[in-house]
Structure 1
Amino acid sequence: MPSVTAAPQLTDARPGEVADQAARSWDRVPGYLNAATLGLPPCAVVTAMQEAVAEWAAGTACPTRYDASVNAARESYARLVGVSPDRVATGAQTSVFAGMVAASLSDGAEVVAIQDDFTSVLFPFLVQQQADRGVTVRLVPREGLADAVAETTDLVVFSLAQSACGRLVDVAAVTEAARRHGARTFCDTTQAAGWMPVEADLFDLTVCSAYKWLCQPRGTAYLTIRPELTESLRPVSAGWYAGESIWDSTYGPGMQLAGDARRFDVSPAWLSWVGAQAAGEVFAQLSMEAVRAHVGGLADQVRETLGQEPCGRPVLALPDPDGALAGRLTGAGATVASRGGGVRIAFHLWNTQEDVDLVLRTLAG
């Protein structure tokens, strides 16, 4: 596999140092304000994947050697969210892992979820509700999630940061309500991991698609699980890569799955995991507190100009029912997204004061 050079250690970095590191790690793409849709790859990711494609084209790639990239990416992600690697499963999409969690519900289970959450964490549970198993899904407003948890609730499903607007769930209130009523929690950290500290141990299960704020290739996702829940989760996507001995699990019915979270692994899209390893090594060197201060500070400059309270989140959602504002921003050279009747502006590590100024000029015009 291509070698990856780790970024300088910045675990105690200030926001300015993080900005300097980002300038060294990413090529400048002026006006790209769309990390909430698709993160930009660090230069190390581009190099690693180009080298891997060249090996593939030359016929020198070896499938077994890709395991090192998968495991390195698993370890980097585990460090990022504060768990051991044996509690992390690797896969391709949030919906696949959510589907496995949904399929593992007991008949008659009650799920409480946010009514306008991203469908990758909603649809798998709604499918089970339609499956004549007695599963009930109660959909509630984000602000009322904690209050909606009841003695009848088995699982609380939610995104830590909402996709359309970036707003955060009140984690303390939701986890306390779940603990009080004996419910488990399943948290999607896709729109949070990579710009803010995430503690996977706060939840029973988490899932993360890494192609947004973690800047990995699409086709890389992670599940974390508390060890005591391993036996209760049904590995419905199990294949050879979920085996205790991967390359001895390719034929026949003699199934011996891994004893830890690897039993939930999905066969990897190899080249994506080469990129994931490189991206993981970049992010593993960063202080997430400093990243949050940097990217949230950029967004807060726009908020303050608009008369809004600063909140330290990197995502702004501005009303744009007819798409006119998105059109003006695009015309000015920005890349943004239209979501839920608004324009979504997302600042990340590669963004600078120039991008803030671009947004402010456009809004003023």
Structure 2
Amino acid sequence: MQTELLWCDGSSHTSMIGMDSFVDGHGYLAACTAGLPTRGTLAAMRADLDEWGTGGSSPIRYGDLVEEGRALFAQIVGIDASRVSTGSQTSAMTAVVASSLPDGAEVLVPEGDFSSIVFPFLAQAHRGVRVRSVPLASLAMAVTPDTALVAWSAVQSATGAVAENDAVVAAARAVGVRTLCDLTQAAGILPISAAPFDVTVTHAYKWLCAPRGVAFLTVSPAAQEWLRPVQAGWYAGEDVWSSCYGPEMRLADDARRFDVSPAWQAWPGAVAALRHVASLDMDTVWRHGTGLADRLAARLGVAGQSQAVMTVPDPSGAGLAALAAAGITASGRAGRLRLAFHHWNDESDVDAVAAVLGR
């Protein structure tokens, strides 16, 4: 299916973005809350349920899907699959990082970042771990030699703002500070590589459009040395089918040592979604989303934000309620209305939102 891609300068280009791979998403502007499934995802999950219903499910087949998903995610974020660990929740992955920091460590975070990237460090206060918050725009400048780790989201959940990721990494490297970046609101919409960061965490149910229950941790070679596999179980073993019983522990020698047992039924759909995302050009996807968002900003007479999630103040929730009454799905966070533009959206969504909010 051909779709018109709106660029940030207002020009348009017809390109293949594979919108026909998705269910009809017109009126759905909430990818930052949860993505929509591809048709392949729905078919794969239905087939898996039918197979389960006849006793035909196989842990080995699920394991093959996990490995394919690991490789696809690695391709999307530009690293080798040996650096990718799989799990179910980003907060649990962040907790692995938090538990690996030394007593008394200082962790630097942006003010208002998502709790899954903040709470695991606050939970280490009993051993002196301290969390210091600064405005997002000041994050790079706030890194000091006394900082043990800087943790932030590449794209902010509440506002859709894109962090100055390169500047933060450069500031951290200059003084030997470790980095943890949450790619949950970036992977699948923003062209971004996991390579510059010591650690990244990503849940795949938003812009990557996978079922909830599939998440990824990436680790640099240096980070693998200091991270402690505190969640190690049978799936972290060098040979998972030889790791089912103790007491001997032989963990994988790459990022798989941080794997946790997969939520099996989520993986058939996740792999179908990741196959689709991996086939796309992320620069084109980003231009599509930001172009639509900036087109809406122009219609509403507000400044364009050059981001795929356009946000406007909505402290009372009246704007969100008005959109819902008109059959448009958006979201609200921290007193702001969030309007997320992804693959399935086009200018008809801009027209529909402008008609409601313009009133």
Equivalent in the alignment of 2:358: 364
Counterpart position of 2:33: 37
Q: Write the deviation string for residues 128-178 of structure 1: whole angstroms up to 9, x where unpaired.
A: 12x2x2222111111111111101011000001000110011112211110
- Matched letter for residue 275 of structure 1: G
Letter in 1 for 2:236: A
Instruction: Find the counterpart in structure 1 of residue 230 from structure 2.
Output: 236
Deviations 1:2-37 (A, max 9, x none): xxxxx9xxxxxx963244x11x20111321110000
Paired amino acid for 1:171: N
Find out whether 1:110 has 2:106 as its counterpart.
yes
Residues 233-273 of structure 1: CA deviation (Å, up to 9, x unaligned): 01111110000000111012111000000000010001111
Cross-structure match for 2:69? 73
Q: TM-score, normalised by structure 1?
A: 0.93
In structure 1, the partner of 2:171 is 177
Q: 1:217 deviation in Å?
A: 0.6
1:191 counterpart SS class: coil
Match of 2:123, SS state, is helix
Matches within 5 A, 1:260-339: 260-339=254-333
Distance 1:136 1:18 in 2: 48
Partner of residue 97, structure 1? 93
AA partner of residue 280 (structure 1): L
Length-normalised TM-score, structure 2: 0.95
Deviation at 1:342, TM superposition (A): 1.4
Aligned partner of 1:197 in structure 2 is 191
CA distance in 2, matches of 1:211, 1:185: 23
Which of 17, 21, 25 is matched with 2:15 structurally? Answer: 17
Q: Are the aligned partners of 2:107 and 2:148 in contact in 1 as well (CA < 8 Å)? A: yes
1:64 is aligned to 2:33 = no
8 Å Cα contact 2:300/2:354 also seen in 1: no
* 3-state SS of 2:26 partner: coil
Q: Does 1:48 align with 2:65?
A: no
- 2:108 aligns to what SS in structure 1? strand
CA distance in 2, matches of 1:108, 1:119: 21
SS of residue in 2 equivalent to 1:143? helix
Cα RMSD (Å) of the superposition? Answer: 1.3
Which region of structure 1 is more displaced relative to structure 2, 97-106 or 168-177?
Answer: 168-177
State yes or no: 1:213 paired with 2:172: no
Distance in 1 between residues matched to 2:56 and 2:177, nearest whole Å: 50
Q: Tell me if 1:187 matches 2:181.
A: yes
Q: How far apart, CA to CA, are the structure 1 residues paired with 2:170 and 2:330? A: 36
Partner of 2:138, secondary structure, is helix
1:248 lines up with 2:246 in the alignment: no
Query: Contact 2:28–2:330 (CA<8 Å) still a contact in 1?
Result: yes
Q: CA deviation at 1:310?
A: 3.1
Identity %: 48
Stretches of structure 2 that go unaligned for 5 or more consecutive residues are 2-11
- Distance of 2:298 and 2:111 partners within structure 1: 30
* 1:113 counterpart SS class: strand
Distance in 2 (alpha carbons) for counterparts of 1:15 and 1:104: 48
